[in-house]
Structure 1
């Protein structure tokens, strides 16, 4: 049986580009795995003796082996520090040779951060791990969701900004070991982060992606996304849109069975109930909302409903008293109306001035300079992204159209339709059956 010292020597000798495949075959062998398990106490010292950048593949196997023996129930600070030092320093080309091992190591880092109540410790290392594992920023990996979760728990919303802002198009299990559950968790945690950043439009986009993902059975992640989606829709626009037709039937049924209190709140908002009435309803369903951890979002939905009532008044009146606003928007009185209007002015949601002398509000038109340099830059960026996305869609369409399995299934379904005399088995319905 070999020794840990011999294994370290082998890692040092075979970490050149030409020797990496042979090193990986050796590290994957049962014999070397037995050596690492038997020498668990010396694995961190072995990692410390290696260069994280030059010997990334070997360090990865040693650290992942240590993760399997570390006490995940109590947490291992020494392991956590060693892994958090390795992740930002590792060489992407080497760790991408063993994506499953790399994901396993990152999952262990997250687990130890949670047990040790130190989620912030893992934020920067996992952000570096996302970049190391993914061939490009548009690839999705299992580490995305773990990174987002640590950002949420540590309230480091800004740290997740660059990763959230990247457009993700590619899901490649062979390169990143991503699974369907990872996709759902990416959408869920990413949506929560965007809610925290008050970027409701992108939050809705992420949550809707989870809700329209193909599925045959209900699951807890989709149910949680559905509830968040309904509340964020109320906050953002005051109404919950219908799910697209391509959403799975099980998700549509979930909206009725799992989200009844949320659907009722949406119905009350659509009936222009006063904030007081909505608050009374929320109090009655408080146990349901708190169990889901959504009471804060319910409060924001009710607050958003009051804001929209005020915005409607700006479309009708040029001048209005605080008392009239309080009455027509269903607020508690002039003082509450003044606070609400001031917040909306600060947020740029209305343009108005409040007269302290007579308590009157004078609304004005938005003065937006669309010819500004910033607007031109934003428009050019949007056009460039649209062109890029169109190119990706065209490439994907060509790949699907020439896929042998797709063509075979389409042809067989067309033949069965002809044999049965049913002309509906062609065209769009054929696509829907795939």
Structure 2
């Protein structure tokens, strides 16, 4: 190996042995040029360094190998396959304490790793490594990293949603800035993928929450992620509530003003739904089938149709005490009596209506809600909700305390920061003439 590369290996070993992660991180930031010039020896370097003892050094080498691969116009499947396998193993065995000292580099490695798996259409291979990467990169389970969005993307592409359950039903209260690598795109993608994953798992309440967070994120422009979230928000809202729930008042006016005209098809579907006429809704869905399929929302749209059938049946329970299945099929505009019976039975099983079907004469008998809310299970459910509220209040108090004791917040609240900015800007203007120095809001 060249002398400069030997110096690299020696420095990585010595600094790792001393536990000088900060010094090693700064050293590695100056090393890409050396590694690029010695690209033919990088595999030998990986053989010398231990992925557990020298995780930061190995991380730097893999980052450069990805850079080299991206620069090469011709890539062989063997090279990519080998690189993916080695990076997968590294992510699984690397030292968490070390990689947390270089969160930006580790996040970029996971991003490159994900992109290769997406391009090669083998997302399933990245699910286990990225799940482990999240556990190692985050400081606590409620902290969000950029790796979360890559992980959920692979789960959706592989149609393997069970591993995602660990990471979608979280109360995110902290964000790992990853030394500036984390940006708004990762935040929006995480909640968009959370909503999409939850919708696929029929957890529509959580799906609606995910899309709502993506839409209510403060912004000065509307992104494509927000547009896709808005389309799915309309459909999921119809499935759960039978109407489009207005976005919270704190939503950016820009979002409300721009997204509606960009989602005309979905508002037309909502209008058809509000007529309570399944035939009208079906005609609207068929009219826009191509657009819905392009947006990958055709499955959700069909569930909106099923939701309208259920809504009509629930309205019938408020009008009739008994109703024949044939009459119900006609009123709900179902194709057959068998379809009506199947739908009613599924609604009874899910507790969406209280009824029974007489097999003798095919009559549906509607009942009152049998739950008097005086059972032990009701008390336990109420107590669990109270406990959740208490826990939420405690978290909010801790977050408020953390914000109030933040030096930057204190300076800003007392006006000291504004005075310092004004003084600094004045001095800069004096020294550089009439040129204005732009001020940046914090």
Fold conserved (TM > 0.5)? yes
Alignment-derived partner of residue 396 in structure 1: 399
* Conserved? CA contact 1:142–1:176, under 8 Å: no
TM-score, structure 1 as length reference: 0.86
| Greater CA drift, 32-41 or 72-81 | 72-81
- Does structure 2 retain, via aligned residues, the 8 Å contact 1:70–1:79? no
Q: Deviations over 1:285-340 (max 9, x none)?
A: 22322222212111111111111211222344343211121122222232221222
Match for residue 237 of structure 2 among 208, 228, 233:
233
Instruction: Report 1:30-429 matches (<5 A).
Output: 32-71=31-70, 76-174=80-178, 177-273=181-277, 275-365=278-368, 381-400=384-403, 403-408=410-415
Q: What is residue 420 of structure 1 aligned with on the other side?
A: none
CA spacing shift, 1:197–1:409, aligned 2, 3 Å = farther
Contact 2:357 / 2:363 at 8 angstroms: preserved in 1?
yes
Give unmatched runs, 5+ long, in structure 1: 413-432
User: How far does residue 261 in structure 1 lie from its aligned partner after superposition?
Assistant: 1.4
Cross-structure match for 1:14:
15
- 1:385 Cα offset (Å): 3.7
- Quote the residue 1:28 is aligned against: 29
What is the deviation of 1:197? 0.9
Distance 1:190 1:17, change over 3 A: farther
- Contact kept? 1:57, 1:94, Cα under 8 Å: yes
> Would you say the 8 A contact 1:400–1:406 is kept in 2?
no
> Residues 143 and 172 of structure 2 are in contact (CA less than 8 Å); yes or no, is this contact kept in structure 1?
yes
Post-superposition offset of 1:134:
1.0
Secondary structure in 1 matching 2:335: coil
Equivalent pairs, count: 411
With over 3 angstroms needed to count, the CA separation of the structure-2 counterparts of 1:379 and 1:58, relative to structure 1, is farther
d(CA) in 2 for partners of 1:369, 1:59 = 63
- The alpha-carbon distance between structure 1 residues 387 and 88, as it changes in their structure 2 partners (threshold 3 A), is farther
Q: What displacement does 1:395 show?
A: 3.5
Moved more, 213-222 or 336-345: 336-345
**Which consecutive unaligned segments of at least 5 residues does structure 2 have?**
420-440
Confirm or deny: 8 A CA contact 2:208 2:233 kept in the other structure: yes
Q: After superposition, give the CA deviation of every residue in 1:247-267 in whole Å (9 maximum; x if it has no partner).
A: 111110133211111112112
Kindly indicate whether the alpha-carbon contact (under 8 Å) linking 2:411 and 2:417 is maintained by their aligned counterparts in 1: no
User: In structure 2, how many angstroms separate the alpha carbons of the residues matched to 1:315 and 1:159?
Assistant: 42
Distance 2:49 2:23 in 1: 18
Deviates further, 352-361 or 293-302: 352-361
- State the 1:164 CA deviation: 0.8
Distance 1:136 1:378, change over 3 A: farther
The ranges of structure 1 where at least 4 consecutive aligned residues each deviate by more than 6 angstroms after the TM superposition are 369-377, 409-412
CA distance in 2, matches of 1:335, 1:292: 32
SS at match of 1:331: coil
CA contact (8 A) 1:126 1:143 kept: yes
Contact 2:412-2:418 within 8 A present in 1 as well:
no
Q: Deviations over 1:7-32 (max 9, x none)?
A: 33432332135333332232222xx3
The offset of 1:394, in angstroms, is 2.4
Alpha-carbon contact 1:96-1:175 (below 8 Å) kept: no
Go from structure 1 to structure 2 and tell me whether the alpha carbon gap of 1:174 and 1:155 turns closer, same or farther (over 3 Å shift).
Answer: closer
Q: What TM-score comes out, normalization by structure 2 length? A: 0.84
CA distance in 2 between partners of 1:85 and 1:210 (Å): 33
Contact conserved, 1:140 with 1:178, CA < 8 A, in 2?
A: no
Separation of aligned partners in 2, 1:372 and 1:84: 51
Kindly state the Cα deviation for residue 272 of structure 1 after the two structures are TM-superposed.
Answer: 1.4
- Give the alignment's Cα RMSD to 1 decimal: 2.8
